[in-house]
A and B are shown apart, each in its own frame.
Chain A
Amino acid sequence: MEAQTAEKLSPKDFVTDQEVRWCPGCGDYSILKQVQTVMPELGLKREEIVFISGIGCSSRFPYYMETYGMHSIHGRATAIASGLKATRPELSVWIVTGDGDALSIGGNHLIHLLRRNFDVNVLMFNNEIYGLTKGQYSPTSPLGKVAKSTPMGSVDHPFNPLALCLGADSTFVARTMDRDPVHLREVLKRANAHKGTSMVEIYQNCNVFNDGAFEVFTEKGTKKLNTLFVEQGKPLLFGENGGKGIKLDGFKPMVVELADASANDLWIHDEKDQVKANILVRFFNNASSENALPRPFGVFYQEDRFCYEQAFNLQVQEAIAQKGKGDLDALIRGKNTWTI
């Protein structure tokens, strides 16, 4: 990603002439802004950036990015990106998707993208609701969610998206939120830097159909007590003035008051540790429940593993090295011919 840029770009260079048509107050505006802000800092050529989306509110995103883009069909952005990256490994490919697009209709492609580890970035806007279809519960809506399609409450057990991704051997798993631009930009940069599929879950408020779904994590009064921002090599601290920490008792995470515990006993974040990452993404209980663990944000896991497109294209080169460049006449002729 050290590519030379011929010209200095600014965030404005990534703005299209299209009117942005999300509802006023939608969390998507902030995400768009942060993506446009970060883009010039990534050292990429604009013409080598491609945004691909599926269907949903978030999937309008490519129309607002002055790069190459495709607004495709529901759930398939991941599969389209796979074919593009397989054939054009040098491109910087960004997938913009939502909780319904990525986890429901596109769930199958997502897990296969992750196991193959294409070097692409997935920005999954999670608002725990279907917005574009006007308010049905989504695969991440909590149990009992009362929505247009579930007047008596949903009986679906929700997905834990990042646990699902780790289950599919994702090599980069992170969570951030629309309401924290600084953190969002940092995570975007980390996602871009990672070689492999970067899975970024972004908590995004749908102020029309699911307002406040994440407010306990995003708003001032409650944020500090309920969120945990992890940093590599640093202890897991949260609460007012970092007064609380997380300790591991075997594999069981526990909240400790810093006053009562030695800082040396705290869990030190190591994003290379898959076992710990699996525990971290399971910090998922309802914030109001007893002994609730804080909801973590940041990069939970990062692993260097070969990317599909590398091996895929290497095979072509190996075939050429072994057999020589294909000879069309020899192919058509085959091994056995006869002349009359």
Chain B
Amino acid sequence: MATEIKTDVVILFAGDSGDGIQLTGSQFTNTAALYGNDISTFPNFPAEIRAPQGTIAGVSGFQLHFGSVEIFTAGDASDVLVVMNAAALKANLKQLKLGGIIIANTDGFDAKNLKLAKYPDGVNPLKDNSLEKYKVYEIDVTKITRTALEGSGLGTKEMDRSKNMFVLGYIYWMYNRSLDNSIEFLKEQFKKRPELMDANIKVLKAGYNYGETVETPMNRYEVKPAPVSKGTYRSIMGNQAVAMGLIAATQKAGLTLFYGTYPITPASDILHELSKHKNFGVKTFQAEDEIAAITSAIGASFGGSLGITASSGPGIALKGEAIGLALMLELPLVIVNIQRGGPSTGLPTKTEQADLMQAIYGRNGEAPVPVIAASTPSDCFEMAFEACRLAIEFMTPVFFLSDGYIANGSEPWKFPSAADLPELTVNFAKNNLKEGEKFLPYKRNEKLAREWAIPGTKGLEHRVGGIEKENETGNISYDPENHELMVKIRQEKVDNIANYVPLQSIDNGNTTGKLLILGWGSTYGSIKTAVREAIAEGYDVSHAHVKYMNPLPKNLGELIKGFDKVLIPEMNNGQLIKIIRDKFLVDAKGLNKIKGMPFASGEIKEKIVEMLK
């Protein structure tokens, strides 16, 4: 038995959705992060809560990529594939590197499971040499778990629930990790069920000891801490970061956060997180439908709270008319879209970034709305905060885009302190009217934002509405000249936001050159990895990642023109590319992946090499 040093490793845990795969993965993640590895994770679960056991449809996966180097993605292909049953192997084998390790729970490869996984009669991949290109370790996890728990007084069903802890213990042994963090977790988790606490800890240790005592030809591996910048870190998931960013912004602005929403995958976790924090004055309202979700938020904003609503594509489609109302009312509102595969119901649990056009253009009439997008799980905090800032400062609905990949993915986060966050100032309108003077609800400041005059303010009683209004007074107006004027003012107000957001920077590479990779949203990690490798190999390529989608940063056009070629990788059929071509008349090329899965960095790297040939 030898210990091999590795710079980075990708492990994919896979099993039935009831096998505790997500928990196993997140436990390993936390332990690796505490140890000082850089890490990125990607859970992949079925749309059904309990899809039929043992079937491919029911396979749940958790991929994690950790290393002694900087990590930007959850990894292209896995080094280690842990499978709890035959379906998990069948579903994920193509993701395993040649020569990779398979750890298989043999109990999950009995006749019944093989049949459910749709292997032909009499075929068992563990027995027919079809896996000879991999290193396969067979362990009867079920049997050993039950043996370890003999005399515990637990029933077979309860014993079997601890199987995932055996696997976790074994993987901890493989990578020389301490069990302490997970033992602490189990103590907390099962505080009220000491028999389950003992059982899970016992099985976790059994897994570790199995590695220690059983003479397998298995190597152990060491992945040293990563040279990340000094500081205090925590692990953060994208949706959790959104919730915290929204709370932080409303706290900094001294506003009540009103969150009107209707449950939808993959946005619901934001509601779950926010509803835990009512002691911040957070008010979460589970509305009767998507339309009530946004309109209740508009009502709250009218009253002086910050109205926020979240959904995914199908729900955003239903909110469209109300978004138009909010922009006519010129009230602050944040609309969060955690994108998923579309159209229609599409792929609820899979990722895609195909709602950019919907966010920018998807309303009736001339209806400009600022749109910003997060690029990593921790960036969700910053950009959710930023969405609130723009909404308040410019009295406008603002779209914040994330997607299933970063919403459920996690990474280490060197979190800010509350004091370091910018203060947001809110000035509700005061009654400074002179005798006989009328309040003008649509009078604007230098940012073209109108005043936020809330009910309860004496003397500022006024009416707002979705119908076209006269400039300044807000009274109903059908005057043709006025309508054109108002359309132009609303457009100018949004365009002008470009003067109040950061200029576009180059993330990596030279500021001019042969090829620019222009990305947005969750493709950040894959592009970053690909460009970094390509630059190291001598290619003249740069990476810029757009976070302000509408209006685009003022210098973006000029920046793009500094490159001979532009490549825009997107997890859609080409959306940002249309906007870039439209705005800058640049012959950008697209690299599109529409498989409900993030880009592998290798796919982008291949395209870079091809374009620079």
Contact = CB atoms under 8 A, between A and B. Distances in A.
A315 B277 CA distance: 11
A8 interface: no
A326 interface: yes
Contacts of B301: 83
Given A109-B292, A316-B283, A329-B417, A63 B299 contact: no
A201 B263 CA distance: 33
Contact of B234 (A16, A47, A333): A333
B230 A340 contact: yes
Given A329-B417, A338-B33, A72 B288 contact: no
A289 interface: no
Contact of A331 (B181, B244, B324, B463): B244
A47 B455 contact: yes
Interface in A86-135: 86-88, 90-91, 108-109, 112
Contacts of A84: 299-300, 302-303, 455
B279 A83 contact: no
Given A46-B461, A79-B299, A112-B288, A328 B455 contact: no
B462 A68 contact: yes
A128 B397 CA distance: 36
Contact of B325 (A72, A82, A86): A72
A208 B302 CA distance: 35
A48 B460 CA distance: 11
29 contacts: A16-B463, A47-B455, A48-B455, A50-B302, A66-B461, A69-B463, A70-B329, A73-B325, A81-B299, A82-B292, A83-B260, A83-B285, A83-B307, A86-B296, A90-B456, A312-B285, A315-B278, A318-B278, A320-B279, A325-B279, A325-B280, A326-B247, A333-B415, A336-B30, A336-B34, A336-B181, A338-B34, A339-B231, A339-B233
A108 B292 contact: yes
B258 A336 contact: no
A337 B295 contact: no
A337 B280 CA distance: 22
Interface residues on B, range: 35 or more
A338 B303 contact: no
Contacts of A336: 30, 34, 181, 234-235
B1 interface: no
Closest 8 CB pairs of A and B: A83-B299, A83-B296, A71-B465, A326-B280, A319-B278, A84-B299, A80-B299, A79-B292
A77 B277 CA distance: 29
Q: Which of B228, B229, B292, B321 has the most CB of A within 10 A?
A: B292
Say what secondary structure dominates the interface of chain B.
Answer: mixed
Interface of A: 16, 18, 45-50, 52, 62-63, 65-73, 76, 79-88, 90-91, 108-109, 112, 312-313, 315-316, 318-320, 322-326, 328-329, 331-334, 336-340
Greatest chain B CB density within 10 A among A70, A112, A316 is at A70
B467 interface: yes
Interface in B274-333: 277-283, 285, 287-289, 291-292, 295-305, 307, 321-322, 324-325, 329
Given A328-B418, A332-B248, A79 B287 contact: yes
B23 interface: no
B232 to A, nearest CB: 5
Contacts of B458: 45-47
Contacts of B461: 46-47, 66-69
Contacts of A65: 463
A332 B415 CA distance: 7
B167 to A, nearest CB: 22
Given A47-B460, A80-B299, A108-B288, A326 B277 contact: yes
A91 B455 contact: yes
Contact of A73 (B36, B260, B322, B475): B322
B279 A72 contact: no
A96 to B, nearest CB: 12
Contacts of B53: none
Contacts of B232: 333, 337-340
A43 to B, nearest CB: 16
B160 to A, nearest CB: 28
B291 A79 contact: yes
Nearest to B296: A83
A338 B39 CA distance: 13
B247 A331 contact: yes
A267 B409 CA distance: 66
A57 to B, nearest CB: 13
B39 to A, nearest CB: 11
B422 interface: no
Contacts of B233: 337-340
